[in-house]
Amino acid sequence: MKKLILLGSTGSIGTQALEVARAQGYQVTGLAAGSNITLLEQQAREFKPVAVAVFNETAAQQLKISLADTDIKVLSGEVGVCELAAMEGDTVLNAIVGIAGLKPTLAAIRAKKTIALANKETLVTGGDIVKREAAKNGVSILPVDSEHSAIFQSLQGAPKGSLKRILLTASGGPFYGKKREDLENVTVEAALKHPNWSMGAKITIDSATLMNKGLEVIEAVHLFDVLPEQIEVLVHRQSILHSGVELSDGAVLAQLGTPDMRVPIQYALTYPQRGVCFEHLDLFKAATLTFEKPDTETFRCLPLCMEAISRGGVCPAVVNGANEAAVAGFLAGKIRFLQIADLVQAALEKAPNIPQFTVEDIFAADAQARALVAESIR
Ligand code: NDP
Ligand code: MG
């Protein structure tokens, strides 16, 4: 029986991963969250892991008291989350949001766990280091992000060196078709209404700005060893074709399905086997599939991410950090929607040039980008 450690278990991906764990009968040996101890306690009582970890120290102390009648160990803080990631288990599914996921991924890799990766910020900020560590430890990184799972599935059986191009699809988000002038005064509520997917708040805003697609371009560069120029972003409103590849002979292979994150979550956990069917795709119902070029004049976060990965070094960490801070500012009602891209651009313009970087450099660049955003928000 597979032993699963789930980081970010209380979130959108985390709760769906537990549905998959129930369907597959996995043993869940570790659960981690940020601060939602009400849900984490329920999950702990159901799955009876060896340990749980809570990032927030105060919440961890409270959970320790609530779970005193069990023999579940309660760890706390960033150190506790990283310790949990290295404990008893075969696979670590990282569904933490933001750069907070980077160190736990590295801890899991060093403990030689298979990585099922939803936390795209891990590869965006630390791609080169993470890949080097994974190779050194003989660890596989299996994508959970639906597009990257689709690409990975399309590549099964493709000979090495045959990948020519990646076709990365995007839903276009809630503001598809809108121009800058339409977006001046959009509300948080409108930005949180995604047409096809129900996800955590941060990634939902990233989908509205197309930052999510920019982060996914960077994620794909690392996962599939391609150049940014080999990735074509296609706006595909129906979210049925989850992405694909073009091979050297021009053959295009793609993965299609209903928009349901349990499918890519499950594939990362059952790979190379296939799991259970959650929902059948009726192509007659889907009927029409459309593909358009993204509007990069209006949604500038996408070209900014392209520029960041082309420049390399810590530039992707800078755009990511600026975006995390700007999105938090937008969600708190402190800045307007269009300012998110402005702040990401301003941070990228000031990004230091560090071609060979360490984990410390990444966090320094992240902090600098966040400070710049904080200054403009004040
Ligand atoms: P949510 O906001 O719904 O969940 C985030 C999870 O991370 C929660 O369990 C949260 O705990 C936990 N968390 C936050 N900070 C920390 C921390 N410092 N240490 C430990 N745990 C922490 O996000 P999503 O599930 O939507 O997204 C998770 C990741 O997956 C993101 O990187 C996202 O880009 C990616 N992803 C998500 C998709 C989706 O459909 N949702 C699709 C593809 C990728 P708490 O609840 O206590 O705050
Ligand atoms: Mg995605």
pLDDT above 90: percentage of residues in the chain:
97
Q: Model confidence over 152-192: pLDDT tens digits? A: 999 999 999 999 999 999 999 999 999 999 999 999 999 99
- Return the ligand 1 atom nearest residue 37 CA: 47
Residue 73 has pLDDT above 90, yes or no: yes
- Ligand 2: centre distance to CA 68 (Å): 39
pLDDT for residue 194: 86
**Averaged pLDDT of the chain:** 97
pLDDT band at residue 366 under the 50/70/90 scheme: very high
Mutate to test the pocket of ligand 1, among 6, 9, 12, 92 (most ligand atoms within 8 A of CB): 12
pLDDT band at residue 61 under the 50/70/90 scheme: very high
Return d(Cα 331, Cα 325) in angstroms, integer. 10
Mutate to test the pocket of ligand 1, among 203, 205, 320 (most ligand atoms within 8 A of CB): 203
- Ligand 2: centre distance to CA 56 (Å): 27
Q: Is the shortest distance between the CB of 13 and ligand 1 below 6 Å?
A: yes
Return d(Cα 57, Cα 2) in angstroms, integer. 30
Please tell me the residue having the least CA distance from ligand 1 atom 36.
118
Q: Model confidence over 89-119: pLDDT tens digits? A: 999 999 999 999 999 999 999 999 999 999 9
- Counting Cα atoms < 13 Å in the Cβ hemisphere of 23 gives 18
Environment class of residue 75 by beta-carbon count within 10 Å: exposed (0-12), middle (13-18) or buried (19+)?
buried
Q: Is the shortest distance between the CB of 100 and ligand 1 below 6 Å?
A: yes
Q: How many C-beta neighbours within 10 Å does residue 360 have? A: 8
Averaged pLDDT for residues 235-251? 98
pLDDT for residue 36: 98
Neighbours of ion ligand 2 (CB under 5 A): 145-147
- Return the ligand 1 atom nearest residue 119 CA: 32
End-to-end C-alpha distance for the chain, whole angstroms: 52
Q: Is the shortest distance between the CB of 299 and ligand 1 below 6 Å?
A: no
Q: Is the shortest distance between the CB of 12 and ligand 1 below 6 Å?
A: yes
Is the pTM here over 0.95, yes or no? yes
Q: Is the shortest distance between the CB of 258 and ligand 1 below 6 Å?
A: no
Please tell me the residue having the least CA distance from ligand 1 atom 6.
8
Q: Is the shortest distance between the CB of 265 and ligand 1 below 6 Å?
A: no
Q: Is the shortest distance between the CB of 41 and ligand 1 below 6 Å?
A: no
- Ligand 1: centre distance to CA 96 (Å): 4
Q: 77: left (phi > 0), else alpha (psi -120 to 50), else beta? A: left
- Ligand 1: centre distance to CA 32 (Å): 11
Please tell me the residue having the least CA distance from ligand 1 atom 4.
11
Please tell me the residue having the least CA distance from ligand 1 atom 17.
34
Q: Model confidence over 192-234: pLDDT tens digits? A: 998 888 899 999 999 999 999 999 999 999 999 999 999 999 9
Averaged pLDDT for residues 136-150? 98
Please tell me the residue having the least CA distance from ligand 1 atom 32.
119
